[in-house]
Protein backbone atom coordinates (compact mmCIF):
# COMPACT_ATOMS: atom_id res chain seq x y z
CA UNK A 1 0.00 0.00 0.00
CA UNK A 2 1.24 3.40 -0.83
CA UNK A 3 -0.11 6.86 -1.35
CA UNK A 4 -0.96 8.33 -4.73
CA UNK A 5 1.10 11.45 -5.35
CA UNK A 6 -0.12 13.77 -8.04
CA UNK A 7 2.19 16.47 -9.41
CA UNK A 8 1.91 18.85 -12.33
CA UNK A 9 3.41 16.36 -14.78
CA UNK A 10 2.62 12.95 -13.42
CA UNK A 11 0.57 10.72 -11.19
CA UNK A 12 2.59 8.32 -9.09
CA UNK A 13 1.09 5.18 -7.62
CA UNK A 14 2.69 2.29 -5.79
CA UNK A 15 4.78 0.92 -8.62
CA UNK A 16 3.84 2.95 -11.68
CA UNK A 17 4.27 6.49 -12.87
CA UNK A 18 1.72 7.91 -15.27
CA UNK A 19 2.97 10.86 -17.30
CA UNK A 20 0.25 13.41 -18.05
CA UNK A 21 1.94 15.76 -20.53
CA UNK A 22 2.37 13.50 -23.51
CA UNK A 23 2.17 16.06 -26.31
CA UNK A 24 5.74 15.58 -27.43
CA UNK A 25 5.28 11.84 -27.87
CA UNK A 26 2.28 12.14 -30.14
CA UNK A 27 2.40 12.75 -33.86
CA UNK A 28 1.78 16.34 -35.02
CA UNK A 29 -1.79 17.25 -35.87
CA UNK A 30 -0.93 18.38 -39.40
CA UNK A 31 -1.40 16.07 -42.34
CA UNK A 32 1.63 13.83 -42.64
CA UNK A 33 1.07 13.20 -46.35
CA UNK A 34 2.28 16.70 -47.18
CA UNK A 35 5.80 16.28 -45.87
CA UNK A 36 8.50 14.58 -47.92
CA UNK A 37 10.01 11.16 -47.19
CA UNK A 38 12.92 12.42 -45.14
CA UNK A 39 10.70 14.53 -42.90
CA UNK A 40 8.27 11.66 -42.49
CA UNK A 41 11.04 9.33 -41.31
CA UNK A 42 12.51 11.95 -38.98
CA UNK A 43 9.14 12.72 -37.39
CA UNK A 44 8.72 9.08 -36.41
CA UNK A 45 12.35 8.51 -35.47
CA UNK A 46 12.35 11.46 -33.07
CA UNK A 47 9.23 10.29 -31.31
CA UNK A 48 10.48 6.73 -31.00
CA UNK A 49 13.75 7.95 -29.47
CA UNK A 50 11.85 10.13 -27.00
CA UNK A 51 10.09 7.02 -25.71
CA UNK A 52 13.41 5.70 -24.37
CA UNK A 53 12.70 6.18 -20.64
CA UNK A 54 9.37 4.43 -21.07
CA UNK A 55 10.87 1.25 -22.45
CA UNK A 56 12.76 0.45 -19.29
CA UNK A 57 14.33 2.06 -16.24
CA UNK A 58 17.58 0.19 -16.84
CA UNK A 59 20.35 1.88 -18.79
CA UNK A 60 21.37 -1.31 -20.54
CA UNK A 61 17.93 -1.96 -22.00
CA UNK A 62 17.58 1.69 -22.99
CA UNK A 63 20.87 1.44 -24.88
CA UNK A 64 19.72 -1.74 -26.58
CA UNK A 65 16.52 0.02 -27.62
CA UNK A 66 18.36 3.00 -29.13
CA UNK A 67 20.78 0.65 -30.89
CA UNK A 68 17.82 -1.30 -32.23
CA UNK A 69 16.17 1.86 -33.58
CA UNK A 70 19.39 3.05 -35.23
CA UNK A 71 19.88 -0.34 -36.83
CA UNK A 72 16.29 -0.40 -38.04
CA UNK A 73 16.39 3.08 -39.56
CA UNK A 74 19.91 3.06 -40.96
CA UNK A 75 21.18 -0.40 -41.80
CA UNK A 76 18.47 -3.01 -42.10
CA UNK A 77 17.49 -4.37 -45.50
CA UNK A 78 13.92 -5.22 -44.58
CA UNK A 79 12.92 -6.49 -48.02
CA UNK A 80 15.76 -9.00 -48.03
CA UNK A 81 14.81 -10.27 -44.60
CA UNK A 82 11.17 -10.49 -45.63
CA UNK A 83 11.86 -12.43 -48.80
CA UNK A 84 14.07 -14.89 -46.92
CA UNK A 85 11.18 -15.85 -44.65
CA UNK A 86 8.14 -15.57 -46.89
CA UNK A 87 9.63 -16.48 -50.26
CA UNK A 88 10.60 -14.20 -53.10
CA UNK A 89 7.37 -14.11 -55.05
CA UNK A 90 5.26 -12.48 -52.33
CA UNK A 91 5.01 -8.77 -52.92
CA UNK A 92 4.62 -6.21 -50.22
CA UNK A 93 1.08 -4.94 -50.21
CA UNK A 94 1.50 -2.10 -47.73
CA UNK A 95 3.51 1.05 -48.33
CA UNK A 96 6.47 1.63 -46.06
CA UNK A 97 4.83 4.77 -44.68
CA UNK A 98 1.92 2.81 -43.28
CA UNK A 99 4.31 0.21 -41.92
CA UNK A 100 6.32 2.87 -40.11
CA UNK A 101 3.15 4.38 -38.68
CA UNK A 102 1.95 0.96 -37.49
CA UNK A 103 5.32 0.28 -35.85
CA UNK A 104 5.09 3.59 -34.02
CA UNK A 105 1.56 2.68 -32.92
CA UNK A 106 2.77 -0.71 -31.72
CA UNK A 107 5.51 0.74 -29.55
CA UNK A 108 3.12 3.41 -28.26
CA UNK A 109 0.72 0.62 -27.30
CA UNK A 110 3.47 -1.09 -25.37
CA UNK A 111 4.22 1.95 -23.20
CA UNK A 112 0.72 3.31 -22.64
CA UNK A 113 -1.91 3.13 -19.99
CA UNK A 114 -5.46 3.87 -21.04
CA UNK A 115 -7.93 5.20 -18.51
CA UNK A 116 -11.13 3.19 -18.23
CA UNK A 117 -9.91 0.80 -20.87
CA UNK A 118 -11.75 -2.20 -22.15
CA UNK A 119 -10.35 -5.67 -21.48
CA UNK A 120 -9.26 -5.95 -25.10
CA UNK A 121 -7.10 -2.84 -24.96
CA UNK A 122 -5.63 -3.97 -21.67
CA UNK A 123 -4.68 -7.32 -23.16
CA UNK A 124 -3.10 -5.61 -26.19
CA UNK A 125 -0.95 -3.42 -23.97
CA UNK A 126 0.36 -6.32 -21.88
CA UNK A 127 1.12 -8.48 -24.91
CA UNK A 128 2.72 -5.67 -26.90
CA UNK A 129 5.00 -4.87 -23.98
CA UNK A 130 6.06 -8.48 -23.59
CA UNK A 131 6.71 -8.83 -27.34
CA UNK A 132 8.84 -5.69 -27.40
CA UNK A 133 10.76 -6.96 -24.39
CA UNK A 134 11.47 -10.29 -26.07
CA UNK A 135 12.58 -8.61 -29.29
CA UNK A 136 15.00 -6.38 -27.39
CA UNK A 137 16.36 -9.41 -25.50
CA UNK A 138 17.11 -11.18 -28.76
CA UNK A 139 18.69 -8.02 -30.19
CA UNK A 140 20.96 -7.93 -27.19
CA UNK A 141 21.95 -11.58 -27.66
CA UNK A 142 22.65 -10.99 -31.35
CA UNK A 143 25.42 -8.52 -30.59
CA UNK A 144 26.47 -9.74 -27.15
CA UNK A 145 29.24 -12.10 -28.22
CA UNK A 146 30.66 -9.68 -30.74
CA UNK A 147 33.75 -8.89 -28.72
CA UNK A 148 34.47 -12.44 -27.69
CA UNK A 149 34.12 -14.51 -30.81
CA UNK A 150 34.88 -13.53 -34.34
CA UNK A 151 33.57 -9.93 -34.35
CA UNK A 152 31.12 -10.96 -37.05
CA UNK A 153 27.82 -11.28 -35.21
CA UNK A 154 26.53 -7.90 -36.35
CA UNK A 155 27.40 -8.71 -39.93
CA UNK A 156 26.18 -12.31 -39.80
CA UNK A 157 22.86 -11.93 -38.05
CA UNK A 158 21.80 -8.39 -38.85
CA UNK A 159 23.18 -7.65 -42.33
CA UNK A 160 23.53 -11.05 -44.00
CA UNK A 161 20.70 -12.76 -42.06
CA UNK A 162 22.75 -15.92 -41.78
CA UNK A 163 20.16 -17.33 -39.38
CA UNK A 164 17.43 -17.28 -42.03
CA UNK A 165 19.13 -18.69 -45.11
CA UNK A 166 20.88 -22.01 -45.51
CA UNK A 167 19.81 -25.33 -44.15
CA UNK A 168 19.85 -26.23 -40.47
CA UNK A 169 22.96 -28.39 -40.72
CA UNK A 170 25.28 -25.53 -41.58
CA UNK A 171 24.03 -23.36 -38.75
CA UNK A 172 25.57 -22.98 -35.34
CA UNK A 173 23.24 -23.45 -32.36
CA UNK A 174 22.68 -19.76 -31.87
CA UNK A 175 21.84 -19.31 -35.54
CA UNK A 176 18.99 -21.80 -35.31
CA UNK A 177 17.62 -20.07 -32.22
CA UNK A 178 17.70 -16.64 -33.85
CA UNK A 179 16.26 -18.06 -37.06
CA UNK A 180 13.20 -19.54 -35.37
CA UNK A 181 12.54 -16.33 -33.47
CA UNK A 182 13.00 -14.11 -36.53
CA UNK A 183 10.56 -16.23 -38.52
CA UNK A 184 7.81 -15.71 -35.97
CA UNK A 185 8.59 -11.98 -35.80
CA UNK A 186 8.27 -11.76 -39.57
CA UNK A 187 4.91 -13.58 -39.52
CA UNK A 188 3.75 -11.15 -36.84
CA UNK A 189 4.91 -8.22 -38.98
CA UNK A 190 2.92 -9.53 -41.92
CA UNK A 191 -0.25 -9.95 -39.92
CA UNK A 192 -0.05 -6.61 -38.13
CA UNK A 193 1.48 -4.56 -40.91
CA UNK A 194 4.39 -3.47 -38.75
CA UNK A 195 8.10 -3.38 -39.41
CA UNK A 196 9.60 -4.76 -36.22
Partner 1 sequence: MPFDTTILKSLQISKVGKKLPQPLPLRTSPLFTHFERWAGKTRKLLLKEPNHVSMLKSFNFRLNDNPFAHILSSPSRLDRIGKVKLPKQLLIQVKSEIKDKYPSISLNTVVDNSIRDTTSKHSYILNKMNLLEKNLRNIKSILPLHVLSDADIGKKIPHIQFEKDKLLEEHLSKLKELLWDQLSKLPLTEKPITDMSSSSSQIIVTYDKSNSDTLKLNIIKDESMNINKYIITFNLAPINEPKFDELFAHGSKKLNLDQRNHAELILRIYRTLMLIT
Binding site for partner 1 (CB under 8 A): 5, 7-12, 15-20, 22, 25-26, 53-54, 57, 86-87, 93-94, 101, 105-106, 108-109, 111-116, 120-121, 123-124, 126-128, 130-131, 133-135, 137-138, 141, 168-169, 173-174, 176-178, 180-181, 184-185, 187-188, 190-193
Could you give the CA distance from residue 191 to residue 74 in angstroms, rounded to a whole number?
24
Q: Is 169 left (phi over 0), alpha (psi -120 to 50) or beta?
A: alpha
Could you tell me the smallest distance in angstroms from the CB atom of residue 32 to partner 1? 12
Cα 133-137-141 angle, rounded to 5 deg: 170
Question: At what angle are helices 119-144 and 59-70 packed, to 10 degrees?
Answer: 80
Between 53 and 151, name the residue whose CB sits nearer to partner 1: 53
Rounded least distance, CB 107 to partner 1, Å: 11
DSSP per residue, 130-156: HHHHHHHHHHHHHHHGGGTTTT-HIII
Is residue 18 a contact partner of residue 117, using CB atoms and an 8 Å limit? no
Nearer to partner 1, 38 or 118 (CB): 118
42: helix, strand or coil: helix
Min dist. Cβ of residue 129 to partner 1 (A):
8
Q: Which helix (H) or strand (E) holds 187?
A: helix 173-192
Quick one: 54 or 72, whose CB is closer to partner 1?
Answer: 54
Q: Name the residue nearer to partner 1 (CB basis): 72 or 157.
A: 157
Minimum CB separation of residue 76 from partner 1 in Å reads: 19
Nearer to partner 1, 24 or 38 (CB): 24
**Nearest-approach distance from CB 109 to partner 1, in angstroms:** 5
Amino acid sequence: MSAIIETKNAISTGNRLFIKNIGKFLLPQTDLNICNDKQYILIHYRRLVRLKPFISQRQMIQNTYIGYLKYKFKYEDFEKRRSLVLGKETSNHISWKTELLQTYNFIMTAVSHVENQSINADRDIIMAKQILKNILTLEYFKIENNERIGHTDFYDYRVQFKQLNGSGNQQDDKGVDFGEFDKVVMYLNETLGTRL
